[in-house]
Structure formats: structure tokens, C-alpha cells
Amino acid sequence: MQNQSKAISQTLEDGVQQSAIRRGGRRALFFLAFLAVIREGVELAIFLLAAQLTTNPLQELLGVSAGIISAALLGWLLFSTSHRLSLKRFFQATNILLIFFAAGLVGLGIHEFNEIGVIPALIDHVWNVGMLLPDESYAGTLLKALLGYDSSPSLSQAGAYVGYFILLGILLIIRRKKGALQHE
């Protein structure tokens, strides 16, 4: 997305202008926005499923409400300032967030496999920072839902979390080298 942001921006603008000219504008813009919202709704459903697995219903309701209010405010902000929005920077920021969300899902997945005995923990508690930031605190719960935080992870859980970033780093280096070779 980061590399394609300029092309995506131009394609979206061209598509909107062409559709607006052909169909009178309003319908084309409505369907473009509708499809974008549907796509985001599917992503939201996936994130809510992850949140549901790590929080209680009241926390989930509060989180969803805060998310909807934040989305409405951000939507208004983007709408009112979109002519100055850099899609490249926007996609860079969202890519970084998605990387950390995915790492959290990997960590939580390994934790669940540890609990049912499919993947051995190796060492049950590598460290314990529960006195500083308990899992049950609001910050701990938020970090657990978003980033897979665990105040006392097992060795396999911590290893999978770090291993995810190492593997991702290796893949990014390989991708950049291929891109550099293609440009030569």
C-alpha cells in the first residue's frame, strides 16, 4: 500500500471524476463510499472478534462506542481536510498499526495453544510485569486486545511475538532488495 499510495490516489481521483461525469456524480460517489464502508466493516468485524475473545461485554461495548465516536470524528476531520491528506503517510501509519495488531494476534494465538497443550510453553513465565501493568487494568486490557499484551508470557509466546517481527523484517529486506534490483 505504501508504494502504491500515489497510484491509488490518482486512480481514485480519476475514477471519481470519470464516474461523476458519466452518471451525474451523486450515484457514483455514493457507491464508491458505500463499497469503502463495506470493506472497512469487514475489517471491523474481524477486530471486534479479537476484542470479544479478550474482554468482557461491557468493555467491548465501551470500546465499540469509543471506536464509533472516534471514527465519526476522524471521518469528519478527513472529509474537511482531505485535500491536504498524504495517502502515502496515511498508508504508512495504518500499515504499522496493522503489523502490531497482527503480532498481537500471533501472541494471543500462541497463548491459547499453550493453555490447551498443543504448543508447549517451554517456560511458563519468562517475566512478570503484572505489578507495573496488570492484565486486568484498563491499560492492560486495551493493550491485550490491540497488541496481545501479557504481563507474564510464556517463552513460546514471547518467542512467537519476537519471531513474527524478525520474519517480517526479513521479508521486507528481501522485498526491498528485489525492488532495488528491478530498478537498476
Instruction: Give residue 137's pLDDT.
Output: 92
Instruction: Determine what percent of the chain is predicted with pLDDT higher than 90.
Output: 29
What is this structure's pTM?
A: 0.58
- What is the DSSP track for 18-56? HHHHHH-SHHHHHHHHHHHHHHHHHHHHHHHHHHHHHS-
Instruction: Give residue 28's pLDDT.
Output: 64
Instruction: Give residue 147's pLDDT.
Output: 87
- Report the C-alpha gap between 136 and 138 in whole angstroms: 7
Nearest to 18 by CA among 37, 32, 33: 32
Residue 163 pLDDT class (50, 70, 90 cuts): very high
Give the pLDDT confidence of 2-14 residue by residue, as tens digits.
Answer: 555 556 666 666 6
Give the pLDDT confidence of 86-139 residue by residue, as tens digits.
Answer: 778 878 888 899 999 999 899 889 999 999 999 999 898 899 999 999 988 989
Instruction: Give residue 93's pLDDT.
Output: 87
